[in-house]
Structure 1
Amino acid sequence: MLPPRPVMRGFAVLTHVFPIACLIMSLSSPVSPAAVAAPAVQPSSKVALERRADGQWQLLRNGRPFVINGVGGQRHLELLVQMGGNSFRTWGADDLDHKGPNGKSLLDQARELDLAVTIGIWLQHERHGFNYSDPAQLEKQREYVRGLVRRYRNEPSLLVWGLGNEMEGPTADGRDTRIWKELQVLAQIIKQEDPNHPVMTVIAGAGGAKVKALMENYTAIDILGVNAYGSAAGVGKALQEAGWQKPFVLTEFGPVGAWEVRHTSWNAPIEQSSQEKAANYYSTQKMVMEDSHGTCIGSYAFVWGNKQETTSTWYGMFAPTGEKMPSIDAMSYAWTGKWPENRSPRIRKFTTDLREAIVKPGQPFTGLLEATDAEKDTLTVEWTVVAESTDRREGGDDEAVPPSIPGCITRSEGLAVAGVAPTKTGPYRLFATVRDGKGGASIDNVPFLVK
């Protein structure tokens, strides 16, 4: 998938997905190696892989064992440290110089917080128009990679090079050997320029045919990154069955994917509740680390921010308005064995006559929540009716945010709501956002159809 891009508004941090052209550095006008090259100096960090006597793999960061407790995303970094995280990954290097609200670049913040960074090197996808059979395009991309490595190879916070993300295509079987053979060339370029940091490439899922084709054509890879959702806890077993013997990182995981869940009769995917998502994050983190036969060296939870993908809440670990969700509490507990000082509120039950219902235009409805807060904070609820997304994309590509429908909520009192369905026919969702007033929130939704 692709990551969200941040927009700063006042004191709230909202994140959205911008078009691909904004997300990656276009190779139609790449930065030349000379423009980005840094002087050759002694490395400021050294990261190595080691296989212990018991057969387990481990990362050594400046000589010390390092297990990745990471997230995908690059905002709220102080909170990441407070929650027990020690690393984050980017999908492309164009974000590294981005100035945060404190005026400091992403790498400045990483150094100050002692966060290790998997620096993503964005490689082009054929579904976006790139041609892996065109020598001119390949050469341009190779020079881009070389220049980028020269620029950042002495960065103290650099942990691993993230060479590409799902270039084989999120639904492809990986049998197109052009991709793997080109990755072999690019990985060798990185190793020539920087022998002090491992190379990781991220694929979508741990399909056996894909992994075997990779192993046959891409031997220079050091670490395999795998993005997985419903099947995330079983990635270690799947890789073992495919014959993978090097270390791996679970580079994206979280809720069950929108393509993996039950759908309504009108084909709307049923989103997990915020409580179910939190349980998914925790159980996946524990199982993948404990049941991978020593090959998993860490993980990156997705996504440390918020993005529109199927819905505005499906994958975000933060609410659209910036509050942390229960999934963050779950990851903190998985990393540290302790809950954060202030836990997000929890929605225990969401009752409404709109749940997966087919209703008439303007038909009245009611809803009721059961919600609790560990610190007994006063809870408030915001109810919203939103149109179902009609802009579904592949692999996390940018999606348009569907509109909210005004006039549907007629009364909201405590944890109860009353309203009327939209007058225009079509699919919708009723969202309930519970906030504790101290930076925590939970958001659940139910789909319904006006017909």
Structure 2
Amino acid sequence: MFKKICFHVALIAVLTGCVSSPAPLRKGRVYIGKEGKQYMLYREGRPFQVRGAAGIENLAALHAAGGNTIRTWDTLHLGRILDDAYANHIAVIAGFPMPVSSFLPYYNDTAKVAAQYTAFRNVVNRYKSHPALLMWCLGNEIDFPYTPRYNHFYKAYNHLLEMIHREDPDHPVTTALINFNKRCLYNIRFKVTGLDLVSMNIFGELRHLQRDLDKFSWFWDGPFLITEWGINGPWESEQTTWGAPVENTSTWKAEQYLQLYRRYMPVKDPRFLGACVFYWGNKQEVTHTWFSLLTKEGGATETVNTMQYLWTGQWPAHRAPALKYMLLNGKGSRDNILLTPNSLQTAEILLADTSTAPLQITWELLAEDWHTKNRDEPNTQQPVGFNSLLLKAQGNKVTFRSPGKEGPYRIFATVSDNKGHFATANTPFYVVSQ
């Protein structure tokens, strides 16, 4: 009995130490301070809350909308990005790319780990004095497992973390997790030494974040950032019967961004240091419009207008066109539209405000993007197009010929005004051979 009591006392002492141990608060050019329960990020001696975006371009537009931070995922062109950010009054969360922890052949290879260490140290020493640098992010969604087979990963990670703090004591270091992950938080507390804060990439699960933070505060109550947030990803969305995710119009997405932030962003949590909306730029992820808040030329969606309102409290003088929905032969995206090959079809866009003028509609017909390198890496190249099948566009409608080859496709519409704004909608369909 005495041994059991001693064991329980020791266990409580260990857990209590883990719970109550403070986050590593450092003083430097950028640091995290704490008064009572309130955490605050300080930059050059002044409080700084991240009003950020995930992306590396269109930084003048970000500043004009009231944003102040970007986050990157790697160090490619980091010098140019930092210079561009500084010129546009934007701070940078600079990401160090690391293989996921389960890639054991990499972490068990001492030569590769040593080369990574040297490369990261060179980057730190090259850019640690840049005035645009806000903090370092060591790894993006790399996962923090428990079992001893990952010891080499933890050894390499802690070695890098110690090096960054030694070479650059002026900037905090974070890492980005997928959602609110209790398992990773447990293992970070027990196996990682020196992270200044934890970051999360979170989309549909944002609705539950405050609840999760409150329930787990007994174990982890440190400061956090949200390094990616946004609408439901394709992996979280409704699907057609053939597995194509249903994408909402850009107008509806803008409303979702607004409500997500207002209702679920934990802005009143004393541990919250800010958030980065996803994605400030143009990218292909299932479609080229799902997360893209801007065109390649810098045109802005209504979500950019929404972020300006959330960051500044003011809507812009001119807002993007508003759409109700798209119809294909009178049916919507959720109607599991089946078409015969080489047959005439009609798609149309319904505008929410028909008084807005002038507007230009661009139509595209693309194959469905079903290609992935693996489960965690979506294709980044736009799938093959069939725009030669677009026959006649008139007003808000287009007539097209369905592809001759059986398979999944989408028809896209982009509605642009003459003030640098655009709106998007698309409808998936499946061509069934006779």
Cα 1:95–1:227, aligned 2, differ >3 Å: closer, same or farther? same
For residue 303 of structure 1, report the CA deviation from its aligned partner.
1.2
Equivalent in the alignment of 2:160: 186
Q: Does 1:163 align with 2:145?
A: no
Equivalent in the alignment of 1:216: 190
Q: Secondary structure at the match of 1:437?
A: coil
Counterpart code for 1:201: T
Cα 1:75–1:222, aligned 2, differ >3 Å: closer, same or farther? same
Cα 1:182–1:280, aligned 2, differ >3 Å: closer, same or farther? farther
Equivalent in the alignment of 1:96: 78
Contact (CA 8 Å) 1:387, 1:428: kept in 2 or not? Answer: yes
CA distance in 1, matches of 2:131, 2:355: 39
Equivalent in the alignment of 1:332: 308
Equivalent in the alignment of 1:116: 91
| Range moving further from structure 2, 269-278 or 248-257 | 269-278
Counterpart code for 2:159: V
Equivalent in the alignment of 2:11: none
Contact (CA 8 Å) 1:361, 1:450: kept in 2 or not? Answer: yes
Contact (CA 8 Å) 1:60, 1:66: kept in 2 or not? Answer: yes
CA distance in 2, matches of 1:280, 1:349: 15
CA deviation profile, 1:389-438 (whole Å, cap 9, x unmatched): 13124444553321111333222111122222112111000111100022
Q: Secondary structure at the match of 1:59?
A: strand
Cα 1:167–1:322, aligned 2, differ >3 Å: closer, same or farther? same
Q: Does 1:445 align with 2:422?
A: no
Higher-Rg member (1/2): 2
For residue 195 of structure 1, the aligned residue among 154, 164, 169 is 169
* Structure 2: gaps spanning 5 or more residues: 1-27
Contact (CA 8 Å) 2:325, 2:425: kept in 1 or not? Answer: no
Equivalent in the alignment of 1:435: 416
Q: Which has the higher helix share?
A: 2
Q: Does 1:361 align with 2:341?
A: yes
Q: Secondary structure at the match of 1:314?
A: coil
Q: Secondary structure at the match of 2:429?
A: strand
CA distance in 2, matches of 1:126, 1:378: 52
Counterpart code for 2:131: P
Equivalent in the alignment of 2:44: 62
Contact (CA 8 Å) 1:343, 1:373: kept in 2 or not? Answer: no
Counterpart code for 1:75: E
Identity of aligned residues (%): 31
CA deviation profile, 1:139-186 (whole Å, cap 9, x unmatched): 222222222111111111111111111122xxxx84465444532222
Equivalent in the alignment of 2:68: 86
CA distance in 2, matches of 1:305, 1:128: 30
| Range moving further from structure 2, 325-334 or 386-395 | 386-395
For residue 86 of structure 1, report the CA deviation from its aligned partner.
0.5
Q: Secondary structure at the match of 2:255?
A: helix
For residue 270 of structure 1, report the CA deviation from its aligned partner.
1.0
For residue 114 of structure 1, report the CA deviation from its aligned partner.
2.0
Cα 1:129–1:217, aligned 2, differ >3 Å: closer, same or farther? closer
For residue 34 of structure 2, the aligned residue among 51, 56, 75 is 51
| Range moving further from structure 2, 356-365 or 387-396 | 387-396
* Structure 1: gaps spanning 5 or more residues: 1-44, 98-104
RMSD: 2.3
Equivalent in the alignment of 1:8: none
Q: Does 1:349 align with 2:325?
A: yes
Q: Does 1:310 align with 2:290?
A: no
Cα 1:165–1:274, aligned 2, differ >3 Å: closer, same or farther? same
For residue 292 of structure 1, report the CA deviation from its aligned partner.
5.8
Equivalent in the alignment of 2:371: 391
CA distance in 1, matches of 2:301, 2:77: 24
Equivalent in the alignment of 1:25: none
Cα 1:289–1:406, aligned 2, differ >3 Å: closer, same or farther? closer
CA distance in 2, matches of 1:51, 1:289: 21
Equivalent in the alignment of 1:402: 383
For residue 375 of structure 1, report the CA deviation from its aligned partner.
8.8
Equivalent in the alignment of 1:10: none
Equivalent in the alignment of 2:260: 284
Q: Secondary structure at the match of 2:351?
A: strand
> How many equivalent pairs are there?
395
